[in-house]
Amino acid sequence: MIELRRPLVLVVEDYQDAREMYAAYLQFSGYGVAEAANGLEALEKTRELMPDIILMDLALPKMDGWEATRRLKADEQTRNIPIVALTGHALAGHAEGARQAGCDAFVTKPCLPDALVAEIERMLAVRRGDGASRRSTRSSSKSKTS
Amino acid sequence: MYRSAAPVDSLTEADPSQIEARLALTELLLASGDLQASARQSIDWLALHAGVQQAVVAVSDPVGSNLLLIAEHGISSTAIADFVIDRGDVNHPLVVALSRLESTYFSPSASTRTPLDGIGFHAVPLRVDEDPPAGLMLVSGTSPEIHPDVLWLARQLARQLARLQSAPGTMDKRLGQERMLLYSIINAVTDPILLTDTEGKLRIANSHAEKLFAAPEDASEGWRRAVALNNMLFSAALSTSAVGQTDLSRRELLLVDPLEGSDLLFELLSSRAKDERQGTYVVSILRNITDLARAREEIEESYRTLRVSQAEVRDERHRLDLIIDSVADPILVTDPEGDIVLLNEPAERLFTVPTTAGESPQRHVRGNGANLTSFVSNVLTRTGEQRYSGEIQLVEPVTGRNLPVEAVAGTILNDQGELVWVVTILHDLTQTLEKEALYEQLKQASAELERKVHEATAELAQQNELLRRQHIELEQASALKSQFLANISHEFRTPLNAILGYTHMLLHGVTGPVTDPQQKSLTRIDSNSRHLLALINDILDITRIEAGRMPLNLTQFKVSDLVVEVMSELEPIIRRSNLTVTAKVKRGVPTVKSDRQKVKQIMLNLLSNALKFTPTGSVTIAAAFDRRHQMISVAFVDSGVGIPQESHSKIFEDFRQLDNSPTRSYGGTGLGLSICRRLAQMLGGAIDLVSQVGEGSTFTLKLPARARRR
């Protein structure tokens, strides 16, 4: 890790247990973490904190993840922040809908914390353009933490 | 005009020869019993002895009302043919003369309507003294002086008449009168009648015969010759005819009409007659058959023509009979009164019946006749119509069966336009009516059938609608179920996500170090949670397949790539298993077009099963291509426990493992093979199984090289 500050991850998840679990594991894995419980809060936190990456649950109260993603991608300031969609619905159309809304990656729940961290790591590597190894979202390989 | 002559009666003054002559006559008269003969002898005597040229004797008829001529001399028979004087005509000069005692002289200029008119004559009443006159004698004379012999003879003849007409001579007198009558009758007959003696000498001829056989004094030469020829022909006919003693002889005789010269054909009837006093003579009657012969010829011709016509008519009639008898329909011809004049054989069966038939056939025939008459009378009232038709209800006389018929009548008119016959043809309507009835039944049945079909169709449509609604409801229910299951699995996964995550973090010491017993417990929680997650994922897959919401994503890929990928994903398990796992992809296996994700899911499942149920030995993956059927096959061959034959189909059912106990020795949800088979079918393929207990198993995935989108 060349960067001085730890990458900031915004975890948007309405289910508190899951949100705190991901947050704890991300902090354990060496990331800075911010949390949002709905779409509106996600928009506020993003503009306030300008995270390096956003983990976005799609089924959210007040404003759902698709709408929030569209707004973020429509905003000049925030459109370059990668968004990894997170959904419990494996039914057809969800992944496609998420991509159309502007999501950069897609992870299906249940997703073990290490798998999630591995995906975030991969996305950030793509962003840096350092040619980090590509892994499928379903890859079960273990995350490498510092 | 007339003067009485003085009676002269003096024998003494006569010379001896005259006395002798008077005596001879007196003798003759005394011997004679015949009135006519006496008269004739008397006037013949006068002609001889007194030089009288013409004389006539007429006597009263038996009744006394007429004077009839019984003898004449010097007068043609034609002139005296119808000489009759009615005594009631009291102004007649002769009747006046008759009533006088002496004779009356009529000069030639006197008109007496007698044959002696114009020659002068004496009318001498024949009476004895003062007795009523018995007759009248007319004697020609040029002067009123009357010859004494005439007066003498008149007295003699009067006595003779009185004698013959008195008692002893009544018969002769009556005969004489009848003879006169006969004479008149013969003259009245229009056919010529002749009486000849056996020598052929003419004795009596009536006036018509005289026209043929006598010529007057002043007749022309042609007339005379014609008469001469006729006499010759007649004599010849009589002499050549074999006239028998009594038989009637009949032959034809051709004579000449003396006046016109034309031929006349007669039938000559001649017969012999015998008279005691006059001897045998021949009576001939000539009947003019000139016209008759012509007529007979014409009649014969007509008759012959008639016979021919009759034969033709008979033939025609026979043919007509054959024709109308051959017609199966009854035909009748009736006159305007309704009486049947002609009928054919079928009609006879309906309108006639033998008298020996029973009561009911006779009644039926009468009924039929009445119906026909009624129909014909209808026809007659319809003047101007040539044809008329109607229905009549008849009855078959013998069987009594009802016989509805259609009657068609035509009228036949004569040249004057009067109706002479009505021809009626009857046509049996039974079959027509039966057909109509059948047709009606058929129509009803058809309508009934149609109605039932309509009902059935309506019911079917209703059922269809019901089914359609039920189908929609089921689809909705199915969709609801799928949605429900999708929601449930989502809801399951949210807490499961947390369980797995926290367990993971504990195991990885995120929250600090854990003891070995804790590590062991956490590992159990982790494995059970994973099993639960696998179950939920499988249930979700089945739900999606059954709901038809598992989309196909067809792409091109190589089977060999997929085999490597699957082996690498299961590499940790392979490494743990101590099995020899090899892959063989034959040459010629082409690039496949199918859903890569689903083929991979099937292959992962089949390989993990093989690894799971094979304790020792080997697992081989063999890919091949059946060019003929364009099918890819991937076989997973293991040397494991094997599957008994009877369980081969069961293992593809939902939630099936051979060991169904809760504490079964092999993991897995029991939904894997069921999902694999469904996915293979979605892709147009199948999964085959060859296995025996203890001999290992071979699961073969077969897929078309190019899957089709359903």
The pLDDT value recorded for residue A109 is 75
CB contact under 8 A, A91 and B537: no
DSSP state of B515: -
The pLDDT value recorded for residue A135 is 39
Q: Is B690 exposed, middle or buried (0-12, 13-18, 19+ CB in 10 A)?
A: middle
List the single residue in A18, A28, A91 with the smallest CB-CB distance to B497: A18
List the single residue in B486, B495, B502 with the smallest CB-CB distance to A91: B486
List the single residue in A28, A91, A109 with the smallest CB-CB distance to B510: A28
Question: CA A135, A137, A138, A141 torsion: positive or negative?
Answer: positive
Helices (H), B205-289: 207-213, 221-240
What the block records as the tokens of B371 is: 């119906």
The pLDDT value recorded for residue B171 is 55
Report chain B residues whose CB lies below 8 A from the CB of A90: 489, 537, 540
Q: Which residue of B has its CA nearest to A142?
A: B508
Average pLDDT, chain B: 81
The pLDDT value recorded for residue B62 is 67
How many helices and strands in chain A, by DSSP H and E?
5, 5
How far apart are the C-alpha atoms of B664 and B670, rounded to whole Å? 11
Q: Which residue of A has its CA nearest to B490?
A: A88
DSSP state of B332: E
What the block records as the tokens of A131 is: 């040619």
CB B404 within 8 A of CB B430: yes
Mean pLDDT of B657-683: 67
Helix (H) or strand (E) holding B635: strand B631-638
Helices (H), B508-616: 516-546, 559-569, 571-577, 596-612
Mean pLDDT of B668-681: 79
Q: Which residue of A has its CA nearest to B532?
A: A110
Q: How many of the other CB atoms lie within 10 Å of CB of B107?
A: 15
Chain A contact for B551 (CB, 8 A cutoff): yes
Q: Which residue of A has its CA nearest to B550?
A: A92
Average pLDDT, chain A: 78
* B477 phi, psi to nearest 5 deg: -65, -45
Report chain B residues whose CB lies below 8 A from the CB of A61: none
List the single residue in A18, A89, A112 with the smallest CB-CB distance to B486: A89
Indicate if the pLDDT at residue A142 is higher than 50. Answer: no
Contacts with B27 (C-beta within 8 Å, 6 or more apart), sequence order: none
How far apart are the C-alpha atoms of B310 and B302, rounded to whole Å? 12
The pLDDT value recorded for residue A10 is 94
Report chain B residues whose CB lies below 8 A from the CB of A28: 505, 510
Indicate if the pLDDT at residue B657 is higher than 70. Answer: no
The pLDDT value recorded for residue B695 is 82
Q: Tell me the pLDDT tens digit for each residue of B100-127.
A: 888 888 888 877 777 777 788 888 888 8
CB B636 within 8 A of CB B567: no
Mean pLDDT of B423-436: 85
CB contact under 8 A, A110 and B502: no
Interface list for A 54-113 with B (CB within 8 A) = 88-92, 109-113
Amino acid (one-letter) located at B369: G
List the single residue in A15, A28, A91 with the smallest CB-CB distance to B494: A15
Q: Are strands B697-704 and A32-36 parallel, antiparallel or unpaired?
A: unpaired
Indicate if the pLDDT at residue A35 is higher than 90. Answer: yes
**Residue B122, CA distances (Å) to B154, B265, B300, B594 in order:** 11, 45, 61, 181
How far apart are the C-alpha atoms of B265 and B258, rounded to whole Å? 13
The pLDDT value recorded for residue A34 is 93
Indicate if the pLDDT at residue B476 is higher than 60. Answer: yes
Q: Which residue of B has its CA nearest to A113?
A: B501
Percent of chain B with pLDDT over 70: 90
CB contact under 8 A, B505 and A21: yes
Chain A contact for B479 (CB, 8 A cutoff): no
Amino acid (one-letter) located at B111: S
End-to-end Cα spacing for chain B: 172
Q: Tell me the pLDDT tens digit for each residue of A63-72.
A: 888 888 889 8
User: What ipTM did this prediction achieve?
Assistant: 0.76
Q: Tell me the pLDDT tens digit for each residue of B61-77.
A: 766 778 878 888 887 76
CB B125 within 8 A of CB B101: yes
Of A93-97, B202-206, B330-334, B401-405, the one with minimum mean pLDDT is: A93-97
The pLDDT value recorded for residue B430 is 83
Three-class SS state of B50: coil
Chain B contact for A131 (CB, 8 A cutoff): no
Mean pLDDT of B127-153: 82
Of A72-81, B37-46, B233-242, the one with minimum mean pLDDT is: B233-242
Indicate if the pLDDT at residue B583 is higher than 80. Answer: yes
Percent of chain B with pLDDT over 90: 2
DSSP state of A15: S
Amino acid (one-letter) located at B39: A
What pTM did the predictor assign? 0.41
The pLDDT-based confidence of B287 (bands split at 50, 70, 90) is confident
DSSP state of B329: S
Q: Which residue of B has its CA nearest to A140?
A: B569
The pLDDT-based confidence of B381 (bands split at 50, 70, 90) is confident
Q: In terms of residues, how long is chain A?
A: 146
The pLDDT-based confidence of B188 (bands split at 50, 70, 90) is confident
Indicate if the pLDDT at residue B519 is higher than 60. Answer: yes
CB contact under 8 A, A111 and B497: yes
Mutation target to probe the B interface, by most B beta carbons within 10 A, among A20, A33, A87, A112 is: A112
The pLDDT-based confidence of A55 (bands split at 50, 70, 90) is very high
Amino acid (one-letter) located at B401: R
Contacts with A81 (C-beta within 8 Å, 6 or more apart), sequence order: A46, A50, A51, A52, A53, A54, A72
